[in-house]
Homo-oligomer: A and B are copies of this chain.
Amino acid sequence: MFSKACEYGIRAAVYVALQSLDGRRVSVNEIAEEIDSPIAFTAKILQQLSRSKVIHSVKGPTGGFELDRTEMDTVKLSMIVHAIDGDDIYIGCGLGLKECNANQPCPLHDKFVDIRTDLKNMLENTSLYELATGLEVGLTYLKR
C-alpha cells in the first residue's frame, strides 16, 4: 500500500508529535530507535518531511525534530503520503493505465475509485494529533 519510506515517515511523524506534546525535541537516533527503523534512511525521510513542512527541524546541540501543538491538528496523513510517495495513490489507475480517466475507464475503475476515495478521505481527515493521542494512553504501538 505505502512504500517503506512512507511507513517510516508516518511512524516518525507520529513519534515526533507524541514527544512534542511533552515539549520534547527528538533526535534522528531516538526516533529510529523508537519506531524501529534504519537510522540513516530515517534521517533522509525526516529531511523530506522537514522540507515539506510536515515537521520542524532544529540544528545544533539541543536540536532535533519537533511539531507545534497547533500543527498536529493541521498536518494530515495525506500530506505525509503525498510528500513521500507522491500522488500515484490518489490519481493513479488501479490497473496501471497511464492515468485514471473516467471517460476511458479500465475494467476495475468504478470499484477501484470507491476504495481509493475512501482511502483518500481517511488520509485527509486523520491528523497527527489524533494518532499521537492513541499512543499517549498506551492504546497503540509504533514498534513491536
Q: Is the CB of A4 within 8 A of B96?
A: yes
Interface segment out of the listed A26-34, A39-47, A50-58, A101-109: A101-109
A77 to B95, CA, bound (A): 12
Chain copies in complex: 2
Chain B residues with CB under 8 Å of A143's CB are 97
Chain B residues with CB under 8 Å of A140's CB are 105-107, 109
Chain B residues with CB under 8 Å of A98's CB are 144
Q: Is the CB of A122 within 8 A of B118?
A: no
Closest chain-B Cβ to A139's Cβ sits at a distance in Å of: 8
Q: Is the CB of B106 within 8 A of A142?
A: yes
Closest chain-B Cβ to A10's Cβ sits at a distance in Å of: 6
Q: Which of A79-135 contact B (CB under 8 A)?
A: 89, 92, 94-98, 101, 104-109, 111-112, 114-116, 118-119, 122, 126, 131-132, 134-135
Residues of chain A at interface, number, CB under 8 A: 42
Q: Which of B107, B112, B134, B142 contacts A135 (CB 8 A)?
A: B107
Q: Is the CB of B1 within 8 A of A104?
A: no
A11 at the interface (CB under 8 A from B): yes
Binding site for B on A (CB under 8 A): 1-2, 4, 7-8, 10-11, 14, 77, 89, 92, 94-98, 101, 104-109, 111-112, 114-116, 118-119, 122, 126, 131-132, 134-135, 139-144
